[in-house]
């Protein structure tokens, strides 16, 4: 049975970073995949320098979703840096997932070190309290250097779609310019490591909040 999947991210690029390969594989297998991004994702640094405009971020995000093959990208207008774990975020997520009725939900790991990622992860847990299968993204530097260890519990072989994942990430031109070419190389290297753990070329790993077992 083909599954309906919702992936929720704080920013445009979060979903591709952590689950781009998994979603591309799911889409190829005929699953119904939806992406919800909580912010338009433009931002300035602490000196007030504009690092990425909302318009640029949304264009890059739409291009990345197109590469993955996802036809439903819902971009909300919460503050890029200051998404809060409160009723507004919870209800915004709950409203959308109650329409979609997903079999599987992906969201941020609640021990991430980016405050917006943490808030979105916790908001999803609250919003999806009546849903049975929820997985957390594996964070990656600079947001992932937590005081709690991520526990890879669910693995997905993405060897046949690694090129789709990296091409989707390449659509985020402003982020690539910010972090350099090694940004994508680092993500690919982690996928190679997770693949090595599971006995294939490339993989993605997730931590489980809970999971419904189907027969």
Q: What's the pLDDT at 208? A: 98
Question: How many of the other CB atoms lie within 10 Å of CB of 210?
Answer: 11
Q: What's the pLDDT at 35? A: 98
**CA–CA gap between residue 114 and residue 110 (Å, rounded):** 10
Question: What tens digit of pLDDT does each residue of 150-173 get?
Answer: 999 999 999 999 999 999 999 999
Q: What's the pLDDT at 95? A: 98
Instruction: Please give the full DSSP string across 144-194, using - where no structure is assigned.
Output: ---SS-----EEEE-TTTHHHHHHHHHT-HHHHHHH-THHHHHHHHHHHHH
**CA–CA gap between residue 176 and residue 189 (Å, rounded):** 16
Q: What's the pLDDT at 185? A: 93
**CA–CA gap between residue 57 and residue 189 (Å, rounded):** 25
Q: What's the pLDDT at 51? A: 73
Confidence of residue 143 (pLDDT cuts 50, 70, 90): confident
Question: What tens digit of pLDDT does each residue of 7-32 get?
Answer: 999 999 999 999 999 999 999 999 99
- pTM tops 0.85: yes
Pair of tokens at residue 173: 């031109």
Compare 40 and 140 and report the one with higher pLDDT: 40
Phi, psi of 31, rounded to the nearest 5 degrees: -70, 155
């Amino acid at each position: 049975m083909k599954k309906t999947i919702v992936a929720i991210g704080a920013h445009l690029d979060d979903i591709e970073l952590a689950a781009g390969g998994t979603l591309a594989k799911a889409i190829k297998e005929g699953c119904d995949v939806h992406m919800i991004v909580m912010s338009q994702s433009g931002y300035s640094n602490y000196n007030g320098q504009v690092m990425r405009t909302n318009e640029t971020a949304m264009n890059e995000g739409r291009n990345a979703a197109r590469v993955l093959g996802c036809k439903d990208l819902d971009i909300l207008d919460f503050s890029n840096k200051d998404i809060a774990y409160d009723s507004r975020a919870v209800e915004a997520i709950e409203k959308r997932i109650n329409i979609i009725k997903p079999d599987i939900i992906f969201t941020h790991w609640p021990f991430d070190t980016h405050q917006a990622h943490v808030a979105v992860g916790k908001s999803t847990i609250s919003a999806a309290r009546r849903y049975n299968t929820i997985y957390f993204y594996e964070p990656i530097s600079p947001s992932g250097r937590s005081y709690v260890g991520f526990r890879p519990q669910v693995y997905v072989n993405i060897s046949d779609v690694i090129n789709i994942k990296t091409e989707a990430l390449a659509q985020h031109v402003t982020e690539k310019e910010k972090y350099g070419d090694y940004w994508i190389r680092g993500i690919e290297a982690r996928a190679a490591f997770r693949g090595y753990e599971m006995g294939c070329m490339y993989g993605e790993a997730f931590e489980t909040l809970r999971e419904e077992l189907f027969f």
